[in-house]
């Protein structure tokens, strides 16, 4: 596990974008796992800038998004289809057929979830997975007590998540109660994982995920079992880590390691 702390959200986003660009440059047909939410917004802005100004080429890239609300049409401004289109896909040269986002409108969720898992394998598996983290320590919509071996499936959202989301909807009836989400087990199969977090509100989840026990109460803690995870944290989100000095020491000393 590698932990990198940045002073600002902008620096966090740029560091993550450099990692994504490196993955694409090393393997032009890289398979990326993508996240939504406020955290990766700066990352997507930077990738769009790199595409426009530096020629970062998405022409052979394939993507799989983590999750989607059940019941929201793709064109709904709160759907993750809409989010991804507006914030990344419409600005870069990724072929439409290479984009995968869980469907929130399929009439057969079971079949769709099985297909999504199969499709990831058919595309060669996820090379680099981007994650955010919820205030309750969730990754994707794997709410507390989700099985750490879970696969893509329907999840009933926690009350807290529903309440947090309510501000984005006109009426309480519109707030989705279910989501379709990659499982913790699906995420753990990515070859490399980068988790981003910013803000004081994430500090508790970050300490639990990195320094606490592996537990389904904090699904991000399952990342402790993965061999190649990088946390890129803005300073406030990292502020409660007990071993912060050690992580910084590692960053200083690693370049000279034999
Ligand atoms: P946020 O959401 O980036 O909007 O904070 C992260 C999450 O809940 O996974």
pLDDT digits (tens, 9 = 90+) for 44-53: 999 999 999 9
Predicted local confidence at residue 161, as pLDDT: 85
Residues with CB under 6 A from ligand 1: 37-39, 132-134, 138
pLDDT score of 126: 98
| Per-residue confidence (pLDDT) for residue 173, from 0 to 100 | 84
State residue 160's pLDDT score: 84
Cα(22)–Cα(33) distance, integer angstroms: 15
Which pLDDT belongs to residue 253? 94
Residue 162's CB is within 10 A of a number of other CB atoms, namely 14
Name the residue of 9, 33, 37, 138 whose CB sits within 8 Å of the most ligand 1 atoms, as the mutation to test its pocket: 37
Residues 6+ apart with CB under 8 A from 197: 39, 132, 133, 205, 206, 231, 233, 234, 237, 238
pTM above 0.95, yes or no: yes
> What's the alpha-carbon Rg for the chain, to the nearest Å?
18
Indicate the domain borders of the chain: 2-252
Known catalytic residue at 143:
yes
Catalytic residue among 46, 127, 136, 236: 136
What is the CATH architecture of 2-252? 3-Layer(aba) Sandwich (3.40)
Rounded Cα–Cα distance for residues 254 and 2 (Å): 10
Q: Residues of the chain whose pLDDT is less than 70?
A: none
User: 46, 68, 117, 143: which one is catalytic?
Assistant: 143
Is there a catalytic annotation at residue 189? no
């Amino acid at each position: 596990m590698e932990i990198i702390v940045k002073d600002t959200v902008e620096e966090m986003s740029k560091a993550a974008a450099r990692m994504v660009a490196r993955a694409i440059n090393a393997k032009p047909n890289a398979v990326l796992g993508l996240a939504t939410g406020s955290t990766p917004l700066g990352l997507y802005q930077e990738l769009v800038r790199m595409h426009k100004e530096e020629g970062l080429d998405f022409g052979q890239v394939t993507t799989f998004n983590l999750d989607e609300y059940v019941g929201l049409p793709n064109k709904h401004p709160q759907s993750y289809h809409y989010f991804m289109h507006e914030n990344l896909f419409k600005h870069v040269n990724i072929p439409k057929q290479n984009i995968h986002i869980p469907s929130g409108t399929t009439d057969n969720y079971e079949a769709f979830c099985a297909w999504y898992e199969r499709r990831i394998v058919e595309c060669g598996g996820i090379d680099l997975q981007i994650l955010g983290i919820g205030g309750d320590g969730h990754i994707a919509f794997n709410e507390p007590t989700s099985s750490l071996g879970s696969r893509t499936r329907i999840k009933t959202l926690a009350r807290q998540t529903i309440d947090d989301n309510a501000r984005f909807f006109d009426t309480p009836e519109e707030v989705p109660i279910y989501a379709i989400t990659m499982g913790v087990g699906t995420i753990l199969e990515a070859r490399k994982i980068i988790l981003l977090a910013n803000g004081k509100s994430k500090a508790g989840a970050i300490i639990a995920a990195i320094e606490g026990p592996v537990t389904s109460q904090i699904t991000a803690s399952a990342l402790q079992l993965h061999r190649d995870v990088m946390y890129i944290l803005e300073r406030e989100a990292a502020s409660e880590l007990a071993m912060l000095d050690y992580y910084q020491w590692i960053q200083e000393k690693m370049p000279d390691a034999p």
